[in-house]
Amino acid sequence: MRSTVRAFVLAGLMAASAVVAAAGPAQADTTICEQYGSTTIQGRYVVQNNRWGTSATQCINVTSTGFRITQQQGSAPTNGAPLSYPSVFLGCHYSNCSPGSNLPMQVSRIRSASSSINYSYVGGTYNASYDIWLDPTPKTNGVNQMEIMIWFNRQGSIQPIGSAVGNATVGGRTWQVWRGSNGANNVISYVAPSPITSWSFNVLDFVNDVRNRGAITTSWYLTSIQAGFEPWNGGTGLAVNSFSASVSG
């Protein structure tokens, strides 16, 4: 998410927080068109439509392992905010917590944090965004103070928040690293040089890299792990085919 953009993102998400809790849950293997509609899959993850940035129609079809965008009628300038963040997550997002989640968990207590993702891409202007959220407190509502973004794919003239600060090897892959703040939280983004469709990795590799940069300490809490898309234009057909995440302490 972008420097001038992300302030709008947070405003939209903060406004969304009250609605998420009120929106009626959908059922798995069905279509969600409600602005902040959500449902659970596999008894452990939440899938959310999260159409916070537009009044245009967006619908997702939720499967037993992920979701697909089936309608996306909005359009936004690339120097502004994206339309939405349809995603699947483990943990807590604006008081919407996945069933049985052990998050938030203090980083010092985490023994392992593994995840896997499989994406399908189409044309349009969007990023495939994998978010890791952390906060100094075990916060389950509102915005956290630290966001790690992993850009698995970037299409169109969009860029992460802040500015590029160099390259890094994390999880055995090379990334362009961006760092900035939107005024509400800090963001460190890892941008893949070419699209990644499928990957299984250690979430702690990114958490530790951010810690080594002095952005967090081990006393902070991991609050959620999320994967989805931020579309600006197009995006019908984008899919998270499968997602898994597990944190043990």
Write out the two tokens for 42. 């596999």
Question: Whole-prediction pTM value?
Answer: 0.88
Q: Tell me the β-bridge partners of 170.
A: 173
Neighbours of 176 (CB within 10 A): 17
In the chain, what are the domains? 30-248 (2.60.120.180)
- Which of 54, 61, 91 is CA-nearest to residue 222? 91
Confidence band of 15 (pLDDT split at 50, 70, 90): very low
- Region 32-54: mean pLDDT is 96
User: Residue 237: what pLDDT?
Assistant: 98
Give per-residue pLDDT as tens, 166-199.
999 999 999 999 999 988 899 999 999 999 999 9
Give per-residue pLDDT as tens, 75-126.
999 988 899 999 999 999 999 999 999 999 999 999 999 999 999 999 999 9
Alpha-carbon span 110 to 19, nearest angstrom = 31
- Which of 83, 224, 90 is CA-nearest to residue 146? 224
Neighbours of 35 (CB within 10 A): 18
The catalytic residue positions are 147, 230
Write out the two tokens for 73. 């009628």
* DSSP 3-state percent helix, strand, coil across the chain (nearest 5): 15, 45, 40
